[in-house]
Amino acid sequence: MSVRIAPSILSAELSKLADEIAMLEEGGADWIHVDVMDGRFVPNLTFGAKVIESVRKLTKLPIDVHLMVVEPENYFESFAAAGANGMSIHTEVSPHLQRQLNHIRELGCRAGAVVNPSTPLTAVSEVITDLDLLLVMTVNPGFGGQSFIKGSVDKVRRAREMLAENGSKAFLEVDGGIDRKTIRSVWEAGADTFVAGNAIFGAKNPKAEIEELRSRCTVDT
């Protein structure tokens, strides 16, 4: 199973965004993760289409957009036009989840659904065939630098089983508190895509940290 490391630019030095993204590319990042927060669904306010557009000009890497917003459908068109490759939306604010996932796909983007720590996996059980990605939050969203919720490991394992039982090839992504100490447990549970912010940008050598995280996801011989 291939491993994707998706650094979150929420933790980047935005005044040096071009340098930060060049560093991530050199370090072997697979995706660039962009956290969009509206100050309503989560208690913080972050990036919009302009930042996605700026990132798109700086890299050819896939841009993985996580919408922590109410009424996410209001952003699909502008984010796709700005250069997003994938958009993931929260089940908690998506009563028409199947239709919304379909719309993301129609715009040529990878469609993802996100479940918060307290949200059961049954929230996505009826739309598995519509998913290109399932994101299991391993912290409560809204802020960077939070501690990993240990109970998430079992949830990731159950998510992997659910995808496998349905023959789904969707990516299984984890986000929140992912670092050297936690990445292996969720990888062993079945996750294949890892969002890391503070662990990378707060490291002494951020470029090398990407490979360090990847190295934790290997089978011992």
Q: Which residues are catalytic?
A: 35, 175
Q: Smallest Cα–Cα separation from 173: which of 17, 30, 13, 19? A: 30
User: For 43, phi and psi rounded to 5 degrees?
Assistant: -80, 55
Determine the Cα–Cα distance for residues 14 and 122; give it in Å rounded to an integer.
37
Distances (CA, A) of 124 to 97, 98, 134, 212: 9, 9, 9, 32
* The pair of three-digit structure tokens given for residue 40, joined into one six-digit string: 């309503």
Length of the chain in residues, anyone? 221
For 87, the 3-state DSSP assignment is strand
Q: Report the Cα–Cα distance between both ends of the chain, in Å, rounded.
A: 16
Rounded Cα distance, 194 and 166, in Å: 22
